[in-house]
Every structure is written in structure tokens, then in C-alpha cells.
């Protein structure tokens, strides 16, 4: 896929991976619909991306991904402003704020709602809208290393991300049939807002992966049409590997 003039929807776009990916995509000529509950940072990012452009390349919409009507509005906005949907990034996510056994308020349910259920709906909408114009497309779901290996610090988050990996891999055959590739990234912990409550504990276990490397993995899965139903693992020790397949770059070879 050549991303120039392609249309992307990104949830969780106001910061972290979503923000960095939006900047990378627009830098390569794509157009983006930015979605987040953080209105201030989302609108600021849209303004920055549109700066010095003859026409708008970015629109921000407030979106709670657990509100499926608001998710659908993103796809309608993409069609209204840009005419189609080519790339869907289901990236919004949260993690535990306290140990599961101390979670009397049931915050773990919100983790499942945002990190798994909303990703299922975003994937469903992505498959539907990307097929409408007969040009195919690609959906990338943000999973985690916690979706490949159990994580004692964040068990509910890990359960949700295991679900994202299962969803992604299960859609390989259907995605190939309809021309819409579904892939996922599975980074180890990076220095983004999501790990703020447990940053100190995480850094005692392992170094953080760079945001730039995670965005490299997103772009690999978007631009390389050979990846479908695949999951890219990203770690600071071994770089990027796609479920046992070398990416072809010496500094990104690793086995899973």
C-alpha cells in the first residue's frame, strides 16, 4: 500500500502511538480522522497537521469508543470529508490503575470495554466501510506484548489484549477474501500515558520500547501487503518481528 492520499481513522489519536502515527501518515501524504476523548490535545494535533496546507488533511472528532454510535460517526466523517476509508487504527486503550484484587469498583470492566469490545466494533466497521468502495484496505489493532505473554502486573489488560490478538488472527481468511487486511502490533511497554500509574514498576522489569519503533511496526503492517492476520511484536531487545517472520532488516530480526 502506498499511503499517499489514503484515508485513515485513528482512535486514541491525541497522544502516544496514535499521535505519532498520525504525524507519520500525514507526513507521507495521507489524510486522517483523529478520534479521542481528549478534546484539547486532539484539536491541537489537527491544527498542527493542517498547518500550512492548502486543504485540510486532518479532522478531529471527540469519540468515546465504547459508544458505538460515536465510532460509526468517525467512518461517516471519513466518507464526508475524504470520500472513503482505507486504513483503520483501533488504538484507544487503558490499563489497570491498581491491583485487580483491590478493584472494588470494577474498573476492570472498563478495560475490557475499551481495549477489547471497542476494538471488535472498530474492526467490524472497518471491514464494512473499507469494502464499500472496492479498493480494499488495512485494519491495525493495537495489542501488546501482554497479549502474547501473561502479565502479573496487569491481568485484565492482558486478558483484553489476548482477545485482540485472537480477533486479529481469526480474521485472516475473511480479510483475504474481501481484500481488507487485519493485523496487530504487540509492543512491550512504551513511555506513553497508559503506563503512567505503573511506570516505575515496569522500568524495574525491563527497558521501555521507543514510540518511533512502534510506529515503524505500524507502517510495516500498513505498507507491506504480504502481512494479513499477522501480529508484529516490538521489544527494545529484539526490535520488530512478525510472529516468527523476519522483517528483512538486520536490526529488526527476531524470533517469536
User: What's the pTM?
Assistant: 0.91
Residue 239: which domain range?
7-252
Of the candidate ranges 31-35, 130-134, 159-163, the one whose mean pLDDT is the lowest: 130-134
Q: Look at residue 256 in the predicted model and tell me its pLDDT.
A: 30
Q: Is residue 253's pLDDT more than 60? A: no
Catalytic residue among 129, 157, 174, 238: 157
Q: Residue 67: which region, alpha, beta or left (left: phi > 0; alpha: psi -120 to 50)?
A: beta
Q: Name the pLDDT band for 208 (thresholds 50, 70, 90).
A: confident
Nearest to 219, CA basis, from 9, 12, 28: 28
Helix axis angle for 155-170 and 118-131, nearest 10°, is 20
129 is catalytic: no
What is the structure's pLDDT at 201?
60
Instruction: Give domain status of residue 24, yes or no.
Output: yes
Other CB atoms within 10 Å distance of the CB of residue 183: 28
- How are beta strands 231-235 and 239-242 bridged, if at all? antiparallel
Interval 57-74: pLDDT, tens: 999 999 999 999 999 999
Q: What percent of the chain has pLDDT over 70?
A: 89
Strand partners, 9: 33, 88
- Nearest Cα neighbor of 122 from 138, 94, 141 is 141
d(CA 198, CA 73): 33
Residues 6+ apart with CB under 8 A from 59: 32, 33, 34, 46, 77, 81
- Contact 7/87 with Cβ under 8 angstroms? yes
Distance, first Cα to last Cα, the chain:
25
Cα pseudo-dihedral 34, 176, 233, 32, rounded to 10:
-10
Orientation angle between helical segments 211-223 and 16-27, nearest 10 degrees: 50
Q: Is residue 186 part of a domain?
A: yes
CATH number at 199 reads 3.40.50.720
Q: Would 90 be classed as within a structural domain?
A: yes
- How many structural domains compose the chain? 1
177 lies in a domain? yes
pLDDT in tens, 77-101: 999 999 999 999 999 999 888 889 9
Structural domain includes residue 1: no
Of 42-51, 89-98, 105-114, least confident by mean pLDDT is 89-98
Q: Does residue 214 sit within a domain?
A: yes
Residue 51 lies in a domain: yes
Reported as a single tens digit per residue, the pLDDT across 123-153 is 999 999 998 877 899 999 999 999 999 988 8
User: Residue 66: is it exposed, middle or buried by C-beta count within 10 angstroms (0-12/13-18/19+)?
Assistant: middle
Average pLDDT on 162-173 reads 97
Torsion angles phi and psi, residue 119, rounded to 5: -70, -40
Q: Is residue 2 part of a domain?
A: no
Amino acid at each position: 500500500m502506498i499511503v499517499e492520499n489514503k484515508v485513515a481513522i485513528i482512535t486514541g489519536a491525541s497522544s502516544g502511538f496514535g499521535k505519532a502515527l498520525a504525524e507519520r501518515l500525514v507526513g507521507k501524504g495521507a489524510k486522517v480522522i483523529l478520534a479521542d476523548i481528549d478534546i484539547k490535545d486532539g484539536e491541537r494535533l489537527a491544527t498542527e497537521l493542517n498547518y500550512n496546507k492548502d486543504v485540510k488533511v486532518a479532522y478531529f472528532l471527540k469519540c468515546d469508543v465504547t459508544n458505538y454510535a460515536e465510532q460509526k460517526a468517525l467512518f461517516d466523517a471519513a466518507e464526508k470529508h475524504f470520500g472513503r476509508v482505507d486504513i483503520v487504527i483501533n488504538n484507544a486503550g487503558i490499563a489497570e490503575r491498581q491491583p485487580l484484587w483491590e478493584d472494588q469498583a470494577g474498573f476492570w470492566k472498563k478495560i475490557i470495554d475499551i481495549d477489547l469490545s471497542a476494538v471488535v466494533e472498530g474492526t467490524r466497521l472497518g471491514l464494512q466501510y473499507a469494502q464499500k468502495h472496492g479498493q480494499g484496505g488495512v485494519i491495525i489493532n493495537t495489542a501488546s506484548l501482554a497479549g502474547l505473554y501473561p502479565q502479573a502486573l496487569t491481568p485484565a489488560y492482558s486478558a483484553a489484549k489476548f482477545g485482540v490478538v485472537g480477533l486479529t488472527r481469526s480474521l485472516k481468511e475473511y480479510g483475504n477474501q474481501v481484500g481488507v487486511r487485519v493485523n496487530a502490533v504487540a509492543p512491550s511497554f512504551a513511555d506513553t500515558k497508559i503506563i503512567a500509574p505503573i511506570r516505575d514498576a515496569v522500568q524495574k522489569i525491563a527497558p521501555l520500547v521507543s514510540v518511533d519503533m512502534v510506529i515503524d511496526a505500524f507502517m510495516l503492517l500498513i505498507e507491506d501487503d504480504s502481512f494479513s492476520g499477522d501480529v508484529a511484536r516490538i521489544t527494545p531487545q529484539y526490535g520488530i518481528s512478525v510472529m516468527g517472520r523476519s522483517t528483512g532488516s538486520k536490526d529488526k530480526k527476531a524470533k517469536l
